[in-house]
Structure 1
């Protein structure tokens, strides 16, 4: 069972060791938050960060934001305890770092079941190594609890020994493989971070490319980028108006026994209507999120 449709335009990493950041997350206009126990937390702060995240979620106040807890890997001293603790929270998902096999997903699903994780809690996978790219199909189909992929483009670039170019051509194959696998299994998928916080134009271009490729949204490392990501990954007013127009026209044609209709000179078939309905649904969900 894949993750339910919801806005994921902007998903911000927040260090679990930073109590002020966890508090600020309750008021930021991000669609989602990744409460991080892995890269953003020093080894001597892992245990206290875990406790802080558990306490913050028990306190609540995060509204409609999708909350993921990124744990340490099971091959680390903290990974198992992270998963056990996260499974007992109200978080929407556990995000696993450096997943390279379907077995890892299944192992974590078993831990979650043993610890009584709530029914809607999902597993998400960081896709950030060459082995993950080559195994994307198997990972995507590993378990019904899997909800989505998050691209870890920084680690991926390191392992590929490739450059972070503006067009991201050196990692296009990797991005494409993960998008294919995610969509084949009905999963959500988030684009990797843009590291240069002074490069507004580069960030905007990266968002545009990500949306064009089919990502649901972008992971972020600073609140200043939330607004741009929300704009980039939201359907425009013109897109929504066109979608509503072709839905209405097709429904009218269907009532007259027609399977196709021409709207403003464009042939509209059922497949176009399905896409239009998804867009309108997402626009409505975004309206609810922004209103909240």
Structure 2
């Protein structure tokens, strides 16, 4: 279900800050999330909602996807946020504090009037969600759900755990979120890194997320874009090998073979599918950056 559309760097921008929204149009991120939730004070919620809608409708973001993060339906602002987002028709709507499949159904219903292109992205940031990852992901079969966004700050608060540099308290959550998402073809987006000026720590977190199988990372500052794009982008050497695998299996005499030796490495049919996906993703990134 997931496409090859690059989502390496997914930047939260407070929708209450018009200058930040305008600046985002020139940044190298793949996705801009106009945030109505955590980044916006209660007294600024209505203005932020109006500015997010206006920004989506005005466009000008080039190849970047534009997404709105709404407040939860349980808040005083959630219902109006979702109505406004449905009218605006962004590429996706991020919804917070998911507890289980019933929440996805409720948010999907609230977006019934949105264009077909508008996806639903779910924040995984509560303890109940951790124990319902597969049922939540399965809602992709009957709803707009297309992505998981990990929210470890909120989860750490609920768990009363420490956010260690290696994220040890969350390793099981990261693994299970990726595994559940992959069953149903979801895009998997790793949680934000809180150290704005700690670029070395950011790099390590990006590499860990990529190792776990995430497609990209949500971020809170433009200075984090470069590392995300680089680490979550395909390695040039791996792309070269992938092209060699595809070429080898396309040789007529190899048509019936299940495994080949390609440049000293074993390549099975499963590696062919991975190679084709990797090359498609690399080409999508190249195409996007050519017209950014």
Q: TM-score range by the shorter chain?
A: over 0.9
Q: How far does residue 127 in structure 1 lie from its aligned partner after superposition?
A: 0.3
> What are the superposed Cα offsets for residues 210-253 of structure 1, whole Å, 9 maximum, x if unpaired?
00000000110000110111001011211111110111011115
Alpha-carbon separation, structure 1, partners of 2:92 and 2:109: 14
Contact between 2:4 and 2:277, CA under 8 Å: does it hold in 1?
no
CA RMSD of the aligned region, Å? 1.2
Contact kept in structure 2, 1:253 and 1:260, CA below 8 Å = no
CA gap 1:207/1:126 in 2 versus in 1, 3 angstroms: same
| Aligned mate of 2:129, from 118, 129, 132 | 132
Q: Do the aligned partners of 1:250 and 1:268 also contact (CA within 8 Å) in 2? A: no
Other-structure match for 2:103: 104
SS at match of 2:171: helix
Secondary structure at the residue paired with 2:282? Answer: helix
Name the counterpart of 1:225. Answer: 224
Question: 1: CA distance between counterparts of 2:253 and 2:128?
Answer: 48
Aligned residue in 1 for 2:162: 163
| Runs (5+) with no aligned partner, structure 2 | none
Following superposition, the deviation at residue 3 of structure 1 comes to 4.3
2:57 match? 58
Runs of 4+ in 1 over 6 A off after TM superposition: none
Note the alpha carbon deviations across 1:72-109, whole angstroms, 9 max, x for none. Answer: 00000100000010011131111000111111111121
3-state DSSP class of the match of 1:190? strand
SS in 1 for 2:88: coil
What is the SS of the residue equivalent to 1:34?
strand
Q: Which residue of 1 aligns with 2:179?
A: 180
User: Structure 2 CA distance, aligned partners of 1:28 and 1:60?
Assistant: 14
Q: Which runs of 5+ in 1 are unaligned?
A: none
Question: Which residue number corresponds to residue 201 of structure 2?
Answer: 202
Q: Residues 1-12 of structure 1 correspond to what in structure 2 (within 5 A)?
A: 2-12=1-11
Q: Counterparts of 1:1-40 in structure 2 under 5 Å?
A: 2-40=1-39
SS at match of 1:148: strand
CA distance in 2, matches of 1:149, 1:131: 15
Change (3 A) 1:264 1:44: same
Q: Distance in 1 between matches of 2:109 and 2:41?
A: 28
Q: Distance in 1 between matches of 2:47 and 2:247?
A: 55
User: 1:280 maps to what in 2?
Assistant: 279
Q: Does the C-alpha gap of structure 1 residues 47 and 254 become closer, same or farther in structure 2, counting only changes over 3 Å?
A: farther
For 1:189, the equivalent position in structure 2 comes to 188
Counterpart residue number, 1:84: 83
Q: Deviations over 1:150-203 (max 9, x none)?
A: 000111111111111111111111111211111111101100011011211111
Aligned length: 289
Q: Deviations over 1:51-87 (max 9, x none)?
A: 0011111111011112211000000010000001001
Residue 123 (str. 1) matches residue 120 (str. 2): yes
